[in-house]
Structure 1
């Protein structure tokens, strides 16, 4: 194997990190009736977390849904589920999805601080600004305009950082107010803060306050454009943000086998559920002022996987997939967030056959750069 240098500098680049979507909702990660050996229950997920931890995955991301839909009839709540996975592992970091509105920052700050002490850190949060109006309506939460949701999320993040770090925290925002608030105990270490979104408001928020930015799956060129934009804006703010990209991995012994699995997923897609999801997310994507939010340009096939994971094209045999991951790293990606069809078996296969190839390519690139 050979690889061009990733970068030249005093310190070698960090190894790219791997995360997986926690299937804490039913239906898996595709809107398809193709058979799946994936379960949303806690026993399956505890074992999956342990497999992922020993297979080279650093992070797991729990999902948050308050209402059923699009094949996900059942959903476990993200923070409590994250705690259960942390209790079953020793090193895995778990990212709990948090939706401002149903959650207040005071509640999240308290929950995360306590769990941090129970498991020695390892709990992060993913602040989800919300895209589904029907979900907010169903639980009686006010629905804000697109950019207002991101303004609220930014305040949410600023409050979390302040509550977790300051002895007497004061804040006077449009959405949250605090007066000499002191949280004790504070987390054992500063929890990492993730967020997603593709709109101008989402990217600008990441460039100001977030540790990590998740983007939907995309082509290499599309990912590079987002990375370059965010990094440029973050530098203007004296801020650094790391980038994670969504991908649905289908790795088999041959590319032909992998492509056959993709064809089966698409052939057995649930058309009514995909069209309903398409209607809602297209509305969400087009709600941003520039009409460039998540899913604004997604096709029917893209949306069979919730977050455009097929676009990232991690589909093929192990070396093909490893080289595509290195290409993502070259354009600035720090983490790949992966979904799978049969989670337990495929996470283990990925850890055995793909991650070692990625590490070998990274090491080779460092050696080439030093030569």
Structure 2
């Protein structure tokens, strides 16, 4: 197994706001819309300004501001149809999706969009959502066992001409799906911070998403996954994506003032309700170390601990902090914003070029040291 090359450019992704309510649980103004017209324009802005990926969200029920939710796979297809280079990652839940259905959907979309579709396998954290749609709620580690089997199934369907599986959750007998995805196997992403989540990444996933974190906290997670990959004998390394919420302004004072306003205008009952659900999810892992297990009220005003990544300040400050996360092992930064269209463009014009300059400087230093 070889590690991802340190001199490869960092990739940037953004959260697709296909769910209403924005990316913070706050009454602060968020000039972001969940509709298709807004999102088509946003996708075009993103690919014109240095973003390579977009991640669509999967929600089935309302809650915590998400009163309306567009389905992720079909919405992802619409964004791909509006763009030329952008890759879109469709989030899906094992349970509502069967591997055969997803494998077929994604293979078809790959042919329509020149192979630009990927998937994010979400094991599930919102028990109430599963109850509302009549899906069984498995124990924490069982959800990850099912997800791992799901990933093995879709990869087998995409690569084998006569696929067989006798698993605990799925069964296939001499299944041959054609056509196969265009341009190779779609990339398989997953998230989670628990032992089960990291072990799954170390066995089967192409990409591992983690909640927002400090460079030191991120490095500890990456080192853990690398050690597990060696122990499991995995032949390829999982790339690492990290969540972040960007507040980039001309001055640090302005950026910090916006952050303080977000927190001051947090909706306490909604944050506490979200906190209750996700703490239950995080603490349900045997080691009590799942996503959100140690998140504070302030952390949870942004759903995925995005403030912890500290991409809050001037373009120069944010670019330097991004490079620190790259040194810690990040291969991709997944961004959320208050005002997506304006801020994706600003970030692409003001921050990404500075990141590329810093990457070039580091690459030059590495060459000089060899």
- What TM-score results when the alignment is normalised by the length of structure 1? 0.97
Matching of residues 5-16 of structure 1 within 5 Å: 13-16=7-10
2:243 aligned residue (231, 242, 246): 246
Residue 110 of structure 2 is matched in structure 1 by: 116
- The SS at the match of 1:141 is coil
1:191 aligned residue (186, 203, 220): 186
TM superposition shift of 1:46: 0.2
- The SS at the match of 2:241 is strand
Looking at structure 2, the residues matched to 69 and 86 of structure 1 have their Cα atoms a distance apart, in angstroms, of: 28
- Of residues 77-86 and 229-238 in structure 1, the stretch that sits farther from structure 2 once superposed is 229-238
Residue 213 of structure 1 is matched in structure 2 by: 208
Looking at structure 2, the residues matched to 37 and 179 of structure 1 have their Cα atoms a distance apart, in angstroms, of: 50
1:175 aligned residue (166, 169, 180): 169
- The SS at the match of 2:131 is helix
How many residue pairs match? The answer is 363
User: What CA RMSD, in Å, does the superposition of the two structures yield over aligned residues?
Assistant: 1.1
Matching of residues 17-56 of structure 1 within 5 Å: 17-56=11-50
Q: Is the 8 A contact 2:214 2:325 kept in 1?
A: no
TM superposition shift of 1:235: 2.4
Residues 173 and 146 from structure 1, CA distance in 2 versus in 1: closer, same or farther, beyond 3 angstroms?
same
TM superposition shift of 1:10: 12
Residue 3 of structure 1 is matched in structure 2 by: none
- The SS at the match of 1:20 is strand
Matching of residues 222-371 of structure 1 within 5 Å: 222-236=217-231, 237-239=233-235, 240-371=237-368
- The SS at the match of 2:80 is helix
- The SS at the match of 1:64 is coil
Looking at structure 2, the residues matched to 230 and 62 of structure 1 have their Cα atoms a distance apart, in angstroms, of: 25
TM superposition shift of 1:368: 1.2
- The SS at the match of 2:320 is helix
Looking at structure 2, the residues matched to 89 and 218 of structure 1 have their Cα atoms a distance apart, in angstroms, of: 31
Q: Is the 8 A contact 2:245 2:309 kept in 1?
A: yes
- Of residues 353-362 and 10-19 in structure 1, the stretch that sits farther from structure 2 once superposed is 10-19
Residues 135 and 95 from structure 1, CA distance in 2 versus in 1: closer, same or farther, beyond 3 angstroms?
same
Looking at structure 2, the residues matched to 272 and 86 of structure 1 have their Cα atoms a distance apart, in angstroms, of: 37
TM superposition shift of 1:238: 2.8
- The SS at the match of 2:39 is helix
Looking at structure 1, the residues matched to 325 and 31 of structure 2 have their Cα atoms a distance apart, in angstroms, of: 29
Looking at structure 2, the residues matched to 150 and 296 of structure 1 have their Cα atoms a distance apart, in angstroms, of: 17
Are residues 1:79 and 2:73 paired? yes
Residues 138-189 of structure 1: per-residue CA shift (max 9 Å, x gap) = 0000000000000000000000100001000000100000000000111002
Matching of residues 156-167 of structure 1 within 5 Å: 156-167=150-161
Are residues 1:103 and 2:97 paired? yes
- What TM-score results when the alignment is normalised by the length of structure 2? 0.97
Residue ranges of structure 2 left out of the alignment (5+ in a row)? none
Looking at structure 1, the residues matched to 37 and 4 of structure 2 have their Cα atoms a distance apart, in angstroms, of: 45
Residues 246 and 10 from structure 1, CA distance in 2 versus in 1: closer, same or farther, beyond 3 angstroms?
closer
Looking at structure 2, the residues matched to 324 and 52 of structure 1 have their Cα atoms a distance apart, in angstroms, of: 21
TM superposition shift of 1:11: 6.8
Residues 11 and 192 from structure 1, CA distance in 2 versus in 1: closer, same or farther, beyond 3 angstroms?
closer
Residue ranges of structure 1 left out of the alignment (5+ in a row)? 1-8
TM superposition shift of 1:309: 0.2
Residues 305 and 183 from structure 1, CA distance in 2 versus in 1: closer, same or farther, beyond 3 angstroms?
same
Residues 274-307 of structure 1: per-residue CA shift (max 9 Å, x gap) = 0000000000000000000000000000000000
Looking at structure 2, the residues matched to 327 and 142 of structure 1 have their Cα atoms a distance apart, in angstroms, of: 41
Looking at structure 1, the residues matched to 40 and 29 of structure 2 have their Cα atoms a distance apart, in angstroms, of: 22
TM superposition shift of 1:219: 1.5
Residues 12 and 330 from structure 1, CA distance in 2 versus in 1: closer, same or farther, beyond 3 angstroms?
closer
